[in-house]
Structure 1
Amino acid sequence: MTEQLTVVTVTYSPGPHLDRFLASLAHATDLPVTVVMADNGSTDGAPEEALERYPNVRLLRTGGNLGYGTAVNRAVTEYLADDDSEFFVVANPDVQWGPRSIDLMLEAAQRWPVAGSLGPLIRDPDGTVYPSARHQPSLVRGGMHAVVGPVWKANPWTAAYRQERMAPSERPVGWLSGSCLLLRRAAFDGIGGFDERYFMYMEDVDLGDRLIRAGWQNVYVPTAEILHDKGHATGRDPARNLAAHHDSTYTFLADRHPRRWQAPLRWAIKSALSVRAGLVVGNSRRKLAKGRRT
């Protein structure tokens, strides 16, 4: 079992979320913790205030808004290069930690020696369980979820992909939400960390897939719980972020179907995602404009 722990969080003007993240961390583990803030260009002063208030916090300025995965990789390279700890944690700064949430994942890691990543049960601010443990998005299951999900919420493909009808249980899954992950260092290093082509979205899906391909597992640990006030950063420009989500989805799917004879499939995927992106981005902008008028 590890004797100390590094927690990496990526900050981008996190506001009061960051203080709640750091204050609640004491409930998550009994281990001594060092928090590395990989800051992607915050302008609200929150990381600097945290640096003054919490002696276990370190600040890494990445030099710009590099995206989530790239910032995590920089923090790992900078602060964990000479660290021989078996595990480290990656979490969003809008997370609030539940009692023993990190310790429970560490205990589960001993039961799952091939677990490359472990993730907790995630609750939304209203207390509902967020489906954070999912299958990998196959062409049929993931494709139908993407195409019909926005207009038919109760469709069977979305329910299957998100494993919504399964009772919470400790089990291997296709991928886990990157908002909170316990990562085994050997597994993370072995696959080269996060793929830095993903600026935002799908980097956790890609990480989970590559871990499985490398012989590791992604293990859901619902006895560990966190609260995630998701969207505090992505909500600033929803249209832009929806477009980024579709771009990342295409990168992920195109990577999994790279052969020359699959070119028509890649074209079809790109066309379908472009149409869907146009619809959802347009709808988002209309809602935003309406909200500004009211």
Structure 2
Amino acid sequence: MIAMTGPTVLTILLNFRTPDLTLRSAEAALAAMEHVAGEIVIVDNDSGDGSFETIRAAAEARGWLGSGRLRVIASDHNGGFGAGMNVGMAAGLASGAAPDFYYLLNSDAFPEAGTIAALRDFLIAHPKAGFAGSFVYGEDGLPHQTAFRFPSAAGEFETAARTGIFSRLLKNAIVALPVPAETTQIDWTAGASLMLRAGMIHQIGGFDETFFLYYEETELCHRAARAGWQCWFVPKSRIMHLGSVSTGMKRWSRTPGYWFDSRRYYFTKTHGPAYALAATLARVAGQTIWGLRRLLQGKPQADPDHFLRDLVAHSFGPGLKPRKTASPLTATPR
């Protein structure tokens, strides 16, 4: 192994029952880390299907474990995406030191050769930037939307109503932004390929483990923004992403309860219970408008079955009980 100096990156690759994809992603990440100081840690998120053993054996057979560039560890429970990433961040570098940057990578995402270096170099050059995210495209080469505004009550209404006049009136509240062609500051971006400044994480903490899936990176970016950190979209950094392999989101016939719970908790934590209620009422109003358009104009079903009923059911009552605001990170920053 060639010793490298300079700012270090810990790439965290989270696996949940996708060992073959995880190994493919790790291979791409190793190539992208070729000239980047740091390591890769694969975290098996308590898959319970032999994934950990499969990945570890394959990594051993390929000589990765002896390279000093890759480790395979296991979480003792599946607390969701954020909890699994917290495990990886807490692992730090093999030396016990903290890296300068954490790079979060989905198991179904495959970085191009310069992707990790591009994000690292951007954060080095922009000290107020806490996050840098990639241009993401699918197997078909088409770009995925990964640049967003923070959710709001107005945005909830616009999202649900799906009606041109409201979208024009509320254009500054639309959550999903057109894919930027240039490097652009945004509110938040998806965690499929996302680099975080370690100093920021040690200041504000890691992921809030109350979220199981969805809204966790949104809340982390929101918390960071309140502390003065910026989030940027860096199109020079590129990954191919299959999307929703572990969660099955593309195949949902009904939205799982944890999505509604995470949505409600996000609004409650960031804006308070009254605002969370207002956001839900705005979403219900928008869904009602779309329902009327379906009835009168024959518009297609745009949401999974029973979405409105499930939204209301999960928006009242005790809600999620906060767990860890952020896992403590045991590695000591340099």
- TM-score bracket for this pair, using the shorter chain length: 0.7 to 0.9
**Cα distance in 2 between the residues matched to 1:39 and 1:110:** 30
Partner residue, 1:31 = 36
- Compute the displacement of 1:239 (Å): 4.9
The separation in 2 between residues aligned to 1:139 and 1:266, in whole angstroms, is 4
- Indicate how the Cα distance of structure 1 residues 189 and 258 shifts in structure 2: closer, same or farther if over 3 A, else same: same
Q: 2:55, 2:72 within 8 Å by CA — same for their partners in 1?
A: yes
Alignment of 1:120-159 (within 5 A): 120-145=134-159, 147-149=160-162
2:115 to 82, 88, 101: 101
SS at match of 2:305: helix
Paired residues of 2:154 and 2:282 also in contact (CA < 8 A) = no
TM-score by length of 1: 0.82
Alignment of 1:158-169 (within 5 A): 160-164=174-178, 167-169=180-182
2:271 to 254, 257, 267: 257
Contact 1:41/1:62 (<8 A) preserved: yes
Greater Cα offset, 94-103 or 49-58: 49-58
The one-letter amino acid of 1:14's match is T
Q: Which one of the candidate residues 244, 249, 260 is aligned to 1:231? A: 244
Deviation of 1:270 (Å)? 8.6
Distance in 2, matches of 1:49 and 1:239, equals 36
Q: Which runs of 5+ in 2 are unaligned?
A: 291-301, 308-334
Aligned match for 1:40, one of 42, 45, 50:
45
Where 2:122 maps in the other structure, the secondary structure is: helix
Deviation, 1:226, is 0.4
Q: Identity rate of aligned residues, in percent?
A: 22
Question: How has the CA–CA distance of structure 1 residues 74 and 26 changed in structure 2, closer, same or farther, with 3 Å as cutoff?
Answer: closer
Letter in 1 for 2:41: V
Q: Deviations over 1:14-72 (max 9, x none)?
A: 13211221111233231244221221222153423343232233222212221010111
Change (3 A) 1:273 1:19: farther
* Aligned match of 1:248: 262
Listed one character per residue, the Cα deviations across residues 81-140 of structure 1 (whole Å, up to 9, x for unaligned) are 942431121111111111210111111113311111100101112111111111111221
Q: Which amino acid counterpart does residue 4 of structure 1 have in structure 2?
A: T
Task: For residue 178 of structure 1, report the CA deviation from its aligned partner.
Answer: 0.8
TM-score, normalised relative to structure 2: 0.73
Flag the structure with larger Rg.
2
Contact 1:14–1:233 (8 Å) recurs in 2: yes
Residue 49 (str. 1) matches residue 57 (str. 2): yes
Residue 92 of structure 2 contacts residue 98 of structure 2 at CA under 8 Å; is this kept in 1?
A: no
Contact 1:243 1:281 in 2 (8 A): no
Q: Is the 8 A contact 1:7 1:91 kept in 2?
A: yes
Aligned pairs, number: 278
CA distance in 2 between partners of 1:223 and 1:263 (Å) = 36
Q: Letter of the aligned partner of 2:147 in structure 1?
A: A
Give the distance between the partners of 2:276 and 2:254, measured in 1 at CA.
Answer: 27
Structure 1, unaligned runs of 5 or more:
285-294
1:174-189 equivalences under 5 Å are: 174-189=187-202
Deviation per CA, 1:209-261: give whole Å up to 9, x if none: 111111000011001100111111111873576432222111111223326x6
**Secondary structure, counterpart of 1:234 in structure 2:** coil
